[in-house]
Structure 1
Amino acid sequence: MTFDDLFHKYYVPMVLYADRTLRDRHVSENVVQDVFVRLWKQYGTMGGERDLKNYLFVMVRNRMLDELRRRRVEQKYQSEAARMASESEEENIFEMELYECLYAAINQLPKKTAEVLRLKLMGMTYEDIAQRQRISKETVHSHLRHGIVSLRGKISKDLLLL
């Protein structure tokens, strides 16, 4: 029996066999095509037709198992990625609420102290804040220290609510 005869005789039954388990015609066809490619490489060393039929179906079964393992790993990866995205979303919401609480608490502080804290949160140095506000570095330090002490009492209560 020629390779073409084998292909025409077994291709459709093998695809149907694979499709019962994989439930994806395209993937089932790829599995069977892969089996025939492997068979083509070994065709000269094959035995009789009866043994060849069993061999083909065992190869398809093994490739289906490989595909199912690949899907399981992919699903595990996707569910892990979804979980991480969900956690990231929750973290972003929490962080946003935290910043809202922080800025609400800062707005309740004296005007100069609040402005110094906002500038520090923006990443400015003591020197930059002192120049911008036309105050000394020691005064910047004093505003920050008093602001942080005040915020600790206000934010810790708000964080407990979150």
Structure 2
Amino acid sequence: MNSDTKHITLSNSNLTNPKVWFDKLFREFYTPLCHFSMTIVPYNSLAEEAVQNVFVHLWEKRKTLEIKNNVRGFLYQSVYNEIC
């Protein structure tokens, strides 16, 4: 994992370019999150849909959402919550 996405706080002051930030997160975490999701859901399409939903919610709430510690943990927990 690269250090730019390891610890991040999402707020308007930290998002100089939210599209670049989001693209970076998506590229780094989409595939691993899909693999994780597929360990919970037996159908690839449902597993991918759960991950996509998490990224959609992340984008929609980017202006108000704060992740104070670990973005990786937040994403994995979000995918788990989306499925269960």
Same fold (TM over 0.5): yes
Identity rate of aligned residues, in percent? 27
Q: CA offset at residue 47 of structure 1?
A: 3.3
Match of 1:23 in 2: 42
Instruction: Determine which of 65, 73, 76 is the counterpart of 1:57.
Output: 76
Do the aligned partners of 2:67 and 2:74 also contact (CA within 8 Å) in 1? no
2:84 counterpart of 1:46: no
Runs of 5+ unmatched residues, structure 2: 5-20
Moved over 4 A (4+): none
Q: CA offset at residue 42 of structure 1?
A: 1.9
Matches within 5 A, 1:8-157: 8-44=27-63, 45-47=65-67, 51-65=70-84
Distance 1:47 1:58 in 2: 12
Larger Rg: 1
Do the aligned partners of 1:35 and 1:60 also contact (CA within 8 Å) in 2? yes
Q: CA offset at residue 8 of structure 1?
A: 0.5
Q: CA offset at residue 13 of structure 1?
A: 0.5
- Higher percent of residues as helix: 1
TM-score w.r.t. the length of structure 2 is 0.68
Do the aligned partners of 2:41 and 2:47 also contact (CA within 8 Å) in 1? yes
Distance 2:76 2:67 in 1: 15
**Over the residues paired in the alignment, what is the CA RMSD in angstroms?**
1.5
TM-score w.r.t. the length of structure 1 is 0.37
Quick one: which amino acid aligns to residue 53 of structure 1? Answer: R
